Structure 1
Amino acid sequence: MSANILDEISEILSGVEKYWINEKLAKQIIIEDLRNNDTKLISKLLVNKSINETYVQDIDGYKIFDKEAFISLLRYKNYWQDSYTKYANKIGLTAEGKYLNYNSDVVLNFPFKDCVLEGGMTKEDSILKNDEKFYNEVIAKEEIDTLLAPKVFTNIKKYNIEGSHVVDNIDRKENLIIKGNNLIALHSLKEKYKGSIKLIYIDPPYNTNGDSFVYNDKFNHSTWLTFIKNRLELAKYFMSDEGIIMIQCDDNEQAYLKVLADEIFGRENFINNLAVIMNLKGNQDQFAFAGTHEYVLVYSKNKEKAEFYQLSLKNSEKLEQWNQDEIGFYKKGANLKATGVNAPRNKRPNLFYPIFLYEDGTISTTEKDGYKEKILPITNGKEMSWRWQKSTLERNIKDVIIVKTDDNVNLYKKQRPEVGDLPSQKPKTLMYKPAYSSGNGTNQIKNLFKEKIFNFAKPEELIKDFIEITTKEKDIVLDFFMGSATTQAVAHKMNRQYIGIEQMDYINTVSVPRLQKVIEGEQGGISKDVDWQGGGSFVYVELAKENQEIVDRIISSSTKEELIQQIDKLLNDGVLNYEVDFDKFTSTKKEFLELELEDQKEVLIRMLDSNQLYVNYYDIEDAAYNFTEDEIAFNHSFYGGE
């Protein structure tokens, strides 16, 4: 098949904006439209002579378009002319004329710009100022064998008020922090924690250009949904019969995520879609409307057994402080008499006028027969002024409170509640407190570490309310997009057991140090509200790396020279992808050296077997890995081995 056809396809569709992303033809969108029998697209294509001759057959006078053959052309990466693609195909990184990851079922990491995630697997910015990166990895279902088998835990430490120390066992009731890929880590936890989690709260990376991450145009939103689907299906496995999952997201994927969650948890187990106001003034950078809120989708494992609890209220928040009229709630606001240097009558003569009080308790600016009292804005014998003009008072006459004493009558504005002012023990579907602001979350981290190291961290007050309405003390809370460990810090202070998972290296510079400060009794966030005095402990472990160690070395290479030094390590120590023709790799090294650095990295990473990123538990006794006696004992304790 001539590659010229592909040039002709590009020319045919050159004026159709939907088929172009960053000046590149969006093949997947074309394929989706062909699958949906888009007549406009098919008509455009069949006008072309080359396409007609190649993909249209005449059967008994009927013209039949071989759509599947045409789609195969679009799938076949070898025909799309970029140097990385040609080289990857040459050494065997495609199979059966298509991407190895085409129609894949497992997404290990989130598909970010250029297949690189900068800043971590949360929306929070990294303390490393974007120096941390890892490549997206998508694995087809048929290629998965040992990927999701239980893994070895290493670098094991227990943290308490005395510091950290090595342990060789773990109690089922211990708090647990895991460094490693969250999908693989969750599979390692399955048997120990199945059916035992009361609350799962996650704030996954959002699929949006407006986020701190940049959406990779090579991946459509279905890949993002696959990434989430892999994890939600597993999350359901962990939930107790009374369990709840809360998924925070923005509007970009909320509708799609709702449909996906309906399929996984069942529409009958949908509880609510909460709107949480995170930015009361609104994001002025958004198109048309200033965004104020995010969403939290709430599902149960079994709605008939789901347990929710009421929020606690401070005395200052009691609803009894508010009155109610035909319009709604109100309480006494400011006195209608003006105060300050501009309050005297001579400064504002138009605002000095009488208000008439009648026997039935009503007031008016118009004098009628039978009024009981004439009220003037006089304070301590001095003529002052009203806050409102006469016309304003007439329009808002029902918003005035009359307070009579033995020798005086005062008028006050009815203060109507703002969003979040009315307290309620039953949580509302529109959630707002000033403390919920994302800026507050950022400041809480800044106050702990004396510098701004994360943006958009969730505030402790928000997570406290989520935990309070869904759990009791000693219940288990799971967050497998841990980020800066807000969920774990709040759970610790509220005497809940918790599990946190995070892949990025800032787990050791932000997340774990934050929890150490919690143990020491830090007084930020919700500490004073819950009378936190410190104490407690948690166990920290890492998934033992195999190919992941080589991947880390490849990613950290900042020059081609550094990267070349990793090739021998890869070939000698790595568990390699059986699809790769290594003889061809060796014989085409010159072409490899001509690739861009990021393309070289992707080639090398894809040469590794993704099933072997981490060491499998059943290999723990293998002397080649050199695990310590304590590590072996800990893993046997965790998995129930010998």
Structure 2
Amino acid sequence: MIIHGDNLLALKALEQDYAGKVKCIYIDPPYNTGQAFEHYDDGLEHSLWLSLIKARLELLKGLLTDDGVVFVQIDDNEVHYLKILLDEIFGRQNFLNQVSVKMKQTSGASGGGEDKKLKKNIEYILIYTKNKYSFIKFNEVLEEENLFDLIEDMRQNGKSWKYTRVLTSYGEKKFLKEIKDGSGEPIRIYVHTDVVMKPIRELMKTENLTEEECYIKYYSSIFRDTNAQSSIRTRVMEATENEGDFFSIEYVPKSGKSKGKMTTLYYKGNNRDLIAWLSDVCVKKGNRLVKLEKLGTYWDGFPLNNLTKEGGVKFPKGKKPELLLKKILDLATDEGDIVLDSFLGSGSTAAVAHKMNRKYIGIELGEHAKTHVVTRLKNVIDNNDTAGISKTINWQGGGGFKFYTLAPSLLRKDKFDNWIIEPSYDADLLASALAKQGAFTYHPDSELFWKQGYSTENDFIFTTTQFITVELIDRIHEEMGEDESLLVCAKTFQDACLSRYDNITLKKIPKVLLGKCEFAKDDYSLNITETEEVESDDE
């Protein structure tokens, strides 16, 4: 769902249907630097900027599920003020992390207009959950780094890369003895003879392989040894003294990633150094080896130089990398969860959510809601978007989205200062808006004209601009069930209608609306008008 209009008003309009249903919110509000896109009044005084952000954050909090998470990206101009504001709204106890994100390159001599200061290349993401007692944990997301880039980087920095040997033969394995761990569980020890270990460099020469080819070929057999202390290693050392120089054990760990699973470990040399496998710290992906690390609070590696090409729409300032949004959605959501971005910009969040099979709500004030966001999502649906995360997740196109525009205020004052219904509202739109204001679901019945919406199985609403007569009320009452009730909203009606039936309540328009919210301006008294629905040509 994409909504074109002011995000404060749109968020208020979403409350009835989406309160407590959004799993993840990402917002990238104007940074108050005087350089945001033209549709936002950037460069405001701190207090005014914070007031505008506060009003939106309060509404966003209400839309989150109890275990939902909000990510707010900002630069150092307002991050400290924003942190205090978020503490106030979400509660300091619900703060999860502050992430530093590399968003600019610092290469070259140019100071980028910051000659008196260090060149800025970092932005920040403040992360809060709605309720820390409901929030369990983030999904596990592992950082990937090309193994050979890592090795080269270590060499250039004078560091030693340890995984440089290959166990080409485990030799002859023979059961030696069984001992007990600290809990009394068995540890079976085997001794190996005629074990063959060779350096990577030797195999490269004898087999005429490049270093990368050798690592890929022997990926599962490459190791380093470590003298990391453990109670298991101590027991193995004591039990195998003078028994050989290469051993394996089989046991079931009580903790760690192999908890509850039969596990084999290998020890070598007089010190019984533990053999650590390369395959435990990196994975093989086709012809690549990538090192995996748990995600921390410094994020980089995004394709910043090609960012303007993502999505097939030009957006020179403020566009966020799809890989950044993917990382956020991987952390905080699963397929089918609702994601919301109320400062949608060029549509990056919506595009990524669509590709990752998340439901999404995007709100954008400017005309680029139509010129950029709609264009970008159509490219995604038609599989014409091959940039961003498309290749990473093997995106093949498909799906659809709905586009809404905020309707004008339902009521306005005429030249005599009287409240009147906004003329642009036709009968159907008026009925839909009144149903929404009364917490009814707008769903016109195909047979009974007066059943325009419902709040419960037996409670209905009927809105009309026509004069209501006793005869019409009698006719409606004859069609009603004994346990049904009806709210009638009309411009005028006969006085006798008011008390004619206990299960029919009549209220006048616009009086029924006054006091609900502020009128006479384009605000959240709105209905939202569907203007376009886009689906894949295949559906």
**What is the TM-score normalised by the length of structure 1?**
0.44
Once residues 148 and 201 of structure 2 are traced to their aligned partners in structure 1, the CA distance between those partners, rounded to angstroms, is 22
Displacement of 1:629 = 3.8
- Aligned runs of 1:58-207 on 2, under 5 Å? 176-207=1-32
Aligned residues, how many? 322
**What residue number does 2:335 align with?**
473
Is the 2:410–2:422 contact (alpha carbons within 8 Å) kept by the matching residues of 1?
A: no
- Aligned runs of 1:3-18 on 2, under 5 Å? none
Once residues 186 and 539 of structure 1 are traced to their aligned partners in structure 2, the CA distance between those partners, rounded to angstroms, is 16
- Aligned runs of 1:551-570 on 2, under 5 Å? none
Q: Quick one: structure 1 residues 425 and 243, their matched pair in 2 at CA, closer, same or farther if it must change by over 3 Å?
A: farther
Once residues 423 and 224 of structure 1 are traced to their aligned partners in structure 2, the CA distance between those partners, rounded to angstroms, is 42
Once residues 404 and 434 of structure 2 are traced to their aligned partners in structure 1, the CA distance between those partners, rounded to angstroms, is 10
Displacement of 1:528 = 1.3
Once residues 73 and 296 of structure 2 are traced to their aligned partners in structure 1, the CA distance between those partners, rounded to angstroms, is 16
Please state whether the residue corresponding to 1:248 is helix, strand or coil: strand
Is the 2:337–2:358 contact (alpha carbons within 8 Å) kept by the matching residues of 1?
A: yes
Is the 2:341–2:363 contact (alpha carbons within 8 Å) kept by the matching residues of 1?
A: yes
Displacement of 1:540 = 1.1
Structure 1: segments with no counterpart, 5+ residues: 1-175, 334-400, 413-420, 549-572, 579-608, 613-618
**What residue number does 2:120 align with?**
291
Once residues 488 and 247 of structure 1 are traced to their aligned partners in structure 2, the CA distance between those partners, rounded to angstroms, is 16
Displacement of 1:208 = 1.4
Is the 2:410–2:425 contact (alpha carbons within 8 Å) kept by the matching residues of 1?
A: no
Is the 1:262–1:270 contact (alpha carbons within 8 Å) kept by the matching residues of 2?
A: yes
Q: Quick one: structure 1 residues 332 and 197, their matched pair in 2 at CA, closer, same or farther if it must change by over 3 Å?
A: same
| Residue 537, structure 1, aligned to residue 400, structure 2 | yes
Please state whether the residue corresponding to 2:306 is helix, strand or coil: helix
Q: Quick one: structure 1 residues 262 and 328, their matched pair in 2 at CA, closer, same or farther if it must change by over 3 Å?
A: farther
Displacement of 1:532 = 1.1
Displacement of 1:625 = 2.9
Is the 1:441–1:457 contact (alpha carbons within 8 Å) kept by the matching residues of 2?
A: yes
Please state whether the residue corresponding to 1:483 is helix, strand or coil: coil
Question: Hey, which of these two has a bigger chunk of helix by percent?
Answer: 1
Is the 2:100–2:299 contact (alpha carbons within 8 Å) kept by the matching residues of 1?
A: yes
Once residues 318 and 413 of structure 2 are traced to their aligned partners in structure 1, the CA distance between those partners, rounded to angstroms, is 38
Is the 1:192–1:639 contact (alpha carbons within 8 Å) kept by the matching residues of 2?
A: no
**What residue number does 2:141 align with?**
311
Displacement of 1:312 = 5.4
Is the 2:25–2:69 contact (alpha carbons within 8 Å) kept by the matching residues of 1?
A: yes
For residues 213-245 of structure 1, the C-alpha deviation after alignment (integer angstroms, 9 at most, x for no partner) is 799899520111111111111111111111000
Once residues 43 and 321 of structure 2 are traced to their aligned partners in structure 1, the CA distance between those partners, rounded to angstroms, is 33
Q: Quick one: structure 1 residues 221 and 515, their matched pair in 2 at CA, closer, same or farther if it must change by over 3 Å?
A: same
**What residue number does 2:131 align with?**
302
Displacement of 1:513 = 1.5
Please state whether the residue corresponding to 2:335 is helix, strand or coil: coil
Displacement of 1:279 = 1.1
Specify the code of the residue in structure 1 equivalent to 2:353: A
Is the 1:483–1:507 contact (alpha carbons within 8 Å) kept by the matching residues of 2?
A: yes
Once residues 145 and 391 of structure 2 are traced to their aligned partners in structure 1, the CA distance between those partners, rounded to angstroms, is 16
**What residue number does 1:430 align with?**
298
Please state whether the residue corresponding to 2:397 is helix, strand or coil: coil
Displacement of 1:269 = 0.8
Aligned mate of 2:426, from 627, 636, 640: 627
**What residue number does 1:524 align with?**
387
Is the 1:277–1:431 contact (alpha carbons within 8 Å) kept by the matching residues of 2?
A: yes
Q: Quick one: structure 1 residues 634 and 468, their matched pair in 2 at CA, closer, same or farther if it must change by over 3 Å?
A: farther
Please state whether the residue corresponding to 1:208 is helix, strand or coil: coil
Once residues 226 and 255 of structure 1 are traced to their aligned partners in structure 2, the CA distance between those partners, rounded to angstroms, is 15
**What residue number does 1:442 align with?**
308
**What residue number does 2:274 align with?**
none
Structure 2: segments with no counterpart, 5+ residues: 165-198, 212-288, 443-452, 454-539
| Residue 455, structure 1, aligned to residue 455, structure 2 | no
Please state whether the residue corresponding to 1:624 is helix, strand or coil: coil
Q: Quick one: structure 1 residues 293 and 511, their matched pair in 2 at CA, closer, same or farther if it must change by over 3 Å?
A: same
Is the 2:4–2:404 contact (alpha carbons within 8 Å) kept by the matching residues of 1?
A: yes
Specify the code of the residue in structure 2 equivalent to 1:258: K
Displacement of 1:188 = 0.6
Question: Hey, which of these two has a bigger chunk of strand by percent?
Answer: 2
Displacement of 1:533 = 1.1
Is the 1:269–1:303 contact (alpha carbons within 8 Å) kept by the matching residues of 2?
A: yes
Displacement of 1:181 = 0.9
For residues 40-96 of structure 1, the C-alpha deviation after alignment (integer angstroms, 9 at most, x for no partner) is xxxxxxxxxxxxxxxxxxxxxxxxxxxxxxxxxxxxxxxxxxxxxxxxxxxxxxxxx
Specify the code of the residue in structure 1 equivalent to 2:343: F
Specify the code of the residue in structure 2 equivalent to 1:234: L
Displacement of 1:204 = 0.2
Displacement of 1:193 = 0.7
Displacement of 1:499 = 0.3
**What is the TM-score normalised by the length of structure 2?**
0.52
Q: Quick one: structure 1 residues 624 and 327, their matched pair in 2 at CA, closer, same or farther if it must change by over 3 Å?
A: same
Q: Quick one: structure 1 residues 217 and 205, their matched pair in 2 at CA, closer, same or farther if it must change by over 3 Å?
A: closer
Q: Quick one: structure 1 residues 241 and 328, their matched pair in 2 at CA, closer, same or farther if it must change by over 3 Å?
A: farther
Displacement of 1:531 = 1.4
Once residues 9 and 434 of structure 2 are traced to their aligned partners in structure 1, the CA distance between those partners, rounded to angstroms, is 16
Is the 2:76–2:123 contact (alpha carbons within 8 Å) kept by the matching residues of 1?
A: yes
- Aligned runs of 1:278-357 on 2, under 5 Å? 278-281=103-106, 284-285=111-112, 286=114, 287-306=116-135, 307-311=137-141, 330=161
Specify the code of the residue in structure 2 equivalent to 1:253: E
Q: Quick one: structure 1 residues 227 and 267, their matched pair in 2 at CA, closer, same or farther if it must change by over 3 Å?
A: same
Please state whether the residue corresponding to 2:360 is helix, strand or coil: strand
Displacement of 1:440 = 2.9
Is the 1:442–1:458 contact (alpha carbons within 8 Å) kept by the matching residues of 2?
A: no
Higher relative contact order (CA 8 A, sep 6+): 1
Please state whether the residue corresponding to 2:100 is helix, strand or coil: strand
Displacement of 1:456 = 3.3
Aligned mate of 2:98, from 273, 277, 285: 273
Please state whether the residue corresponding to 1:428 is helix, strand or coil: coil
For residues 238-294 of structure 1, the C-alpha deviation after alignment (integer angstroms, 9 at most, x for no partner) is 111110000000000001100111111111111111000011326722232011110
Please state whether the residue corresponding to 2:328 is helix, strand or coil: helix
Displacement of 1:319 = 11
**What residue number does 2:371 align with?**
509
For residues 6-48 of structure 1, the C-alpha deviation after alignment (integer angstroms, 9 at most, x for no partner) is xxxxxxxxxxxxxxxxxxxxxxxxxxxxxxxxxxxxxxxxxxx
For residues 310-348 of structure 1, the C-alpha deviation after alignment (integer angstroms, 9 at most, x for no partner) is 225669569998999999774799xxxxxxxxxxxxxxx
Once residues 217 and 177 of structure 1 are traced to their aligned partners in structure 2, the CA distance between those partners, rounded to angstroms, is 23
Please state whether the residue corresponding to 1:290 is helix, strand or coil: coil
**What residue number does 2:349 align with?**
487
Q: Quick one: structure 1 residues 327 and 430, their matched pair in 2 at CA, closer, same or farther if it must change by over 3 Å?
A: farther
Q: Quick one: structure 1 residues 247 and 424, their matched pair in 2 at CA, closer, same or farther if it must change by over 3 Å?
A: farther
For residues 390-426 of structure 1, the C-alpha deviation after alignment (integer angstroms, 9 at most, x for no partner) is xxxxxxxxxxx99457989xxx9xxxxxxxx985453
Q: Quick one: structure 1 residues 211 and 519, their matched pair in 2 at CA, closer, same or farther if it must change by over 3 Å?
A: closer
Aligned mate of 2:62, from 233, 237, 242: 237
Once residues 226 and 300 of structure 1 are traced to their aligned partners in structure 2, the CA distance between those partners, rounded to angstroms, is 21
Please state whether the residue corresponding to 1:510 is helix, strand or coil: helix
Once residues 529 and 441 of structure 1 are traced to their aligned partners in structure 2, the CA distance between those partners, rounded to angstroms, is 16
Q: What is the Cα-based RMSD across aligned positions, in Å?
A: 4.3
Is the 1:323–1:330 contact (alpha carbons within 8 Å) kept by the matching residues of 2?
A: no
Once residues 422 and 185 of structure 1 are traced to their aligned partners in structure 2, the CA distance between those partners, rounded to angstroms, is 43
